[in-house]
Structure 1
């Protein structure tokens, strides 16, 4: 912000976000995922498993959009049993 800009803070405010309620929302998800994959699959190294393990978590119930592409549409995280 610059010296001439102002922001108002109203702690009594209530913001309601209606998830995925915009008409047409999600219309291009598959198309955008394909473009992203084509542009970045050679540069990106899958490291999510490593981060989950470092945080003591293990992923379960991974569902992929396409078996030949690394798109994860759902993931359930379970706590890793302590040893």
Structure 2
């Protein structure tokens, strides 16, 4: 099974079987006020990626029912 390795302040260099850090039973370390877990810019990027992934899933689902199921058509739909 794939191990997920965490390098954030809550699970520094701990590897677990899941994405969450619960298995390490490690208490989160205190963060400085200036530190943010994720910046607004990173959040915007993640939202954009999530939208594209969601759209890709919808396009793939629709491609199974259409004749136009070429890779070129797939990318045209996603990048639209």
TM range (shorter): under 0.3
Which has the larger share of strand?
Answer: 1
Q: TM-score, normalised by structure 1?
A: 0.24
Which has the larger share of helix?
Answer: 2
